[in-house]
Structure 1
Amino acid sequence: MNGDWLLRGRDGRLSVYQLSGDAVLCRAERGLHGPWSAPRRVGGEQRLHPVLAAGQGADGYTHLVSWRPTLKGEAGLVHTTHFRPHLAALDWHPVGHPNKKGDRTGTPAVAVDALGRAHVFVPNRGGGVSMIMQKEKGGWDPWRDLKGREVRDGLAAVTGESGRVELYAAVPQGLLYWRQEEAGAQPVLQEALQAPVRPGTLRALATSADGTTVFYTDTSGGLCAWRPGGKPVTLLPAAGPGPVSAIRCELDGYDCTLLVQRTASRRVAFAAYPTEQESAGAWWTESGPELPLDALVSLAKDETGRVVAATLSPSTGRLHLTRRKDEQGLALEAWREL
């Protein structure tokens, strides 16, 4: 899955999206801090490939994107919107293929701008990135080729505090960075970073009024942070495989960035530091039970603004959750299985 899969809906309830066979399932709080619903299928009976990208706008609506099988050896992208966690999502709607037709070209990424328009990004057969964007009054604009060369799978799309959409992609030489100059415009390739980036480890976060930060693991195992226009900084050794989940929150009166990652020893590790002050340093603190090998981790905030962390095993469907306690520091409640 690409993007955060633990999300807070417009009504304040938390929801979780998970892949299960040829379907996407959703679980949601029945009430604030209340019991959770059983998993239910999202978007009707459409069969899907086992891939999912999720993004959420300031309006609290969740946008989901996946590939569906079409003809033999071919596939097309589909999109749905989930307006509230306890309601049914819209049916999956086809949005086409970056090369008009063919098989899957890579894992999509989705970001939602200030007007609630989904921007869907996906690698194309030419080695670059293509994008399709929702129109403000319904429907979709044509596919656009954003260029790029030798783009690797695992794009990171993010919406800045300005409401404009940005994109990061790993290439053999490092990272590529695109940004919208104005809302609704085609993102433009702005910068290329020379760095030893491990593909499949990118996660981007809005960290200031006009800046975003991308986190990635380098080939020596260091977890790095980079903001375009500057130099990458190695924060600390990566706790384990895959991308981090990241969120901004207040810790002891400071604006902090909180990172969470599944460790090599199959537990959950947390690290926090003052936002955009990587020089302050960070360190991992492990928490929770031992997890299955395929477990994913994600962060969100509940309706009171408290940080919530969740782990999910796609193979078993087991979901565990913890919340930050109402006290100093990053003290967490006991993990519980839902």
Structure 2
Amino acid sequence: MSTVPPLNGSWLLRGRDGSLSAYAPRDEAVWCRAERHPGLPWAPPRRIGGDQRLHAQLALGQGADGYAHLVAWRPTVPGESGLVHSTHFRPHLAALDWVPIGHPDRKGDRTGLPAVAVDAEGRAHVFARNKGGGVGMLAQKERGGWGPWRDIGGPGAHEELAAVTGGSGRVELYATTSDGILRWRQEEPGATLVPDEALEASVRPGTLTALPTSKEHTTLFFADLEGMLHAWRPGTDPVPLLLAAGPGRVSALRCTIDDHDCTLLAQRSASGRAVFAACPTEQESAGLWWSESGPQLPVGTRVALAEDAEGRVVAATLSPDGELRVARQKDEPGLALGAWQSV
């Protein structure tokens, strides 16, 4: 059975020209599949960022400009690794070569799956756990280049982080600990993130998904140790939603369904099919339930969501062996997906 490389952030993105692209770490590299033009057939996979050998981990973020930012670990000397960054400006063009951006402890081996978010000014912010159990942060400068690595605290943070750019254009970061969830935020654009409200809760590590749901709020989705999904907006209590359909993070998308502002969740279920659940945005009390779609999927298959150039919901699945399937929303009431197609 193929293993599933760790991946942080949405791997299905709509680029500046409206074309969709799908990213995956595989064979010591990162590969991209992209529509030749919006809505047209997909081009063959292309290697991203040149010929550097990479570890099988990838973090992705996207700015309001549509540019994709990718961060990965690469081996340096025996027993040590460093982080590298690439920018992909348009899906059908070549990405920039991988650029070394250092290590949260200056040097050492991998410290966990990195995370990346892009602020309203288009600057990437990279996060990775450090050897002290806290979190290191690195940000692009306004005029190019990178600032220094900074320790933003958070002792006891687990390896998988969730970074997001809120509706205000400022970056937020979430991490799980044995006691619950830590949160950091920017007080002003370009600033170093500072600790903010924490949540005491039973949280399953590796299940955090953050989604901007209004200009004021980000909603964090997580599963507790019993498998119940919750939605949390800082300043409120977590709202239980429904049992997670499978392990790991859910994919989340804010979209329009029947002219209503909705939040859509997706996951591979334990039974092996893609499942979807929707509710009015920030109105989780209206209720959610899973609906199955598509064929049986191998263990480890990822599910992702995006909107295409015409505003239709697009769901995609990526199996551990690299098979990509896509389904688009049909022009009829509700969230009706068309036939799943291998691309």
Q: Which residue of 1 aligns with 2:327?
A: 322
Q: Which amino acid aligns with 1:225?
A: A
Distance 2:39 2:16 in 1: 15
Q: Which residue of 1 aligns with 2:34?
A: 28
Question: Which of residues 297, 303, 310 is equivalent to 2:309?
Answer: 303
Distance 2:141 2:311 in 1: 32
For residue 13 of structure 1, report the CA deviation from its aligned partner. 0.3
Distance 2:262 2:160 in 1: 25
- 1:1-47 CA-partner distances (Å, limit 9, x unpaired): 10000000001000010111100001100122111111110000000
| Secondary structure of residue in 2 paired with 1:12 | coil
Is 1:191 paired with 2:186?
no
| Secondary structure of residue in 2 paired with 1:279 | helix
Q: Which amino acid aligns with 1:100?
A: R
TM-score, length-scaled by structure 2? 0.97
- 1:95-138 CA-partner distances (Å, limit 9, x unpaired): 00000000000000000000000000111111111100001111
Q: Which amino acid aligns with 1:317?
A: G
| Secondary structure of residue in 2 paired with 1:208 | coil
For residue 249 of structure 1, report the CA deviation from its aligned partner. 0.8
Distance 2:161 2:103 in 1: 17
Alignment of 1:27-176 (within 5 A): 27-176=33-182
Distance 2:290 2:159 in 1: 27
Is 1:249 paired with 2:260?
no
The share of aligned pairs that are identical, in percent, is 66
For residue 255 of structure 1, report the CA deviation from its aligned partner. 0.7
Q: Which residue of 1 aligns with 2:212?
A: 206
TM-score, length-scaled by structure 1? 0.99
Is the 2:17–2:38 contact (alpha carbons within 8 Å) kept by the matching residues of 1? no
Is the 2:140–2:147 contact (alpha carbons within 8 Å) kept by the matching residues of 1? yes
Question: Which of residues 261, 264, 270 is equivalent to 2:270?
Answer: 264
Q: Which amino acid aligns with 2:64?
A: A
Q: Which residue of 2 aligns with 1:3?
A: 9
The list of structure 1 runs, each at least 4 consecutive aligned residues, that deviate by more than 4 angstroms after superposition, is: none
- 1:34-74 CA-partner distances (Å, limit 9, x unpaired): 11111110000000000000000000000000000001000
For residue 209 of structure 1, report the CA deviation from its aligned partner. 1.0
Distance 2:333 2:193 in 1: 41
Q: Which amino acid aligns with 1:51?
A: Q
Residue segments in structure 2 that go unaligned for 5+ positions in a row: 1-6
Q: Which residue of 1 aligns with 2:4?
A: none
Q: Which residue of 1 aligns with 2:233?
A: 227
Number of residues of Structure 1 aligned to a counterpart in Structure 2: 337
Residue segments in structure 1 that go unaligned for 5+ positions in a row: none
Q: Which amino acid aligns with 1:134?
A: Q
Q: Which amino acid aligns with 2:47?
A: R
Distance 2:207 2:41 in 1: 33
Distance 2:47 2:34 in 1: 12
Q: Which amino acid aligns with 1:195?
A: A
Distance 2:294 2:139 in 1: 39
| Secondary structure of residue in 2 paired with 1:297 | strand
Distance 1:252 1:30 in 2: 29
